């Protein structure tokens, strides 16, 4: 008798999960190749990096297979996978899209893990979601 009660309970749990907790379908706006246009922020907003100030041409590529590639001056620096989820943003207080790479990558010039926002169809920002943090802007490659 107990086994008969467990099956309906398990089915109820499976079908009652809220799909809004995790992004299980890809946001196709993020797919493509993006040119880094700048990084700003930090304590007292002291960081202002651009391709011109660093001498670095940086691109990121995101595929619909959740593959992430970072290229610097035409050299592949990082090739890994990424995940999109929802995380509470310190900027809005709401759940926002959050990108996280499978590899631990840190570079003072760009932010690649963080809250994702679209300023337009061609402009993407990734902010590290921390107070006195930094954010990077990217322009869709044509």
| 16-32: pLDDT as tens digits | 444 444 444 557 789 99
In a domain, 15, yes or no: no
Question: What's the chain's Rg over C-alpha atoms?
Answer: 19
| DSSP β-bridge partners for residue 35 | 59, 139
Q: Tell me the C-alpha distance between 115 and 45, whole Å.
A: 18
Domain tally, the chain:
1
In a domain, 23, yes or no: no
In a domain, 26, yes or no: no
| 126-135: pLDDT as tens digits | 999 998 899 9
Of residues 105 and 15, which shows the higher confidence score? Answer: 105
Average of pLDDT values for 109-137? 93
Residue 99 has pLDDT above 80, yes or no: yes
Look up residue 128 and give its two tokens.
Answer: 């590290």
The pLDDT score that the predictor gives to residue 26 is: 59
Residue 121 has pLDDT above 50, yes or no: yes
Q: How many CB atoms lie under 10 A from the CB of residue 48? A: 12
Question: In which band, very low, low, confident or very high, does the pLDDT at 74 lie, cut at 50, 70 and 90?
Answer: very high
In a domain, 5, yes or no: no
Of residues 105 and 137, which shows the higher confidence score? Answer: 137
In a domain, 19, yes or no: no
In a domain, 70, yes or no: yes
Most confident of 8-12, 31-35, 45-49: 31-35
Average of pLDDT values for 119-127? 93
In a domain, 45, yes or no: yes
Give me the domain span that covers residue 44. 31-140
- For a pLDDT cut of 70, what percent of the chain falls above it? 82
**Dihedral (CA of 87, 48, 139, 33) sign:** negative
| 44-67: pLDDT as tens digits | 878 999 999 999 999 999 999 999
């Amino acid at each position: 008798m107990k086994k008969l009660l467990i099956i309906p309970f398990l089915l109820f749990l499976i079908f009652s999960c809220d799909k809004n907790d995790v992004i299980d379908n890809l946001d196709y706006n993020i797919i493509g190749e993006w040119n880094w246009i700048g990084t700003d922020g930090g304590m007292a907003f002291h960081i202002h990096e651009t391709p011109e100030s660093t001498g670095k041409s940086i691109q990121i590529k995101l595929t619909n297979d959740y593959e992430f590639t970072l290229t610097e001056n035409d050299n592949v620096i990082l090739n890994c996978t990424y995940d999109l989820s929802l995380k509470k943003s310190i900027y809005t207080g709401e759940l926002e899209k959050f990108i996280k790479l499978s590899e631990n990558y840190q570079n003072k010039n760009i932010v690649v893990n963080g809250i994702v926002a679209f300023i337009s169809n061609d402009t993407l920002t990734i902010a590290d979601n921390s107070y006195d943090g930094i954010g990077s802007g990217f322009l869709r490659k044509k």
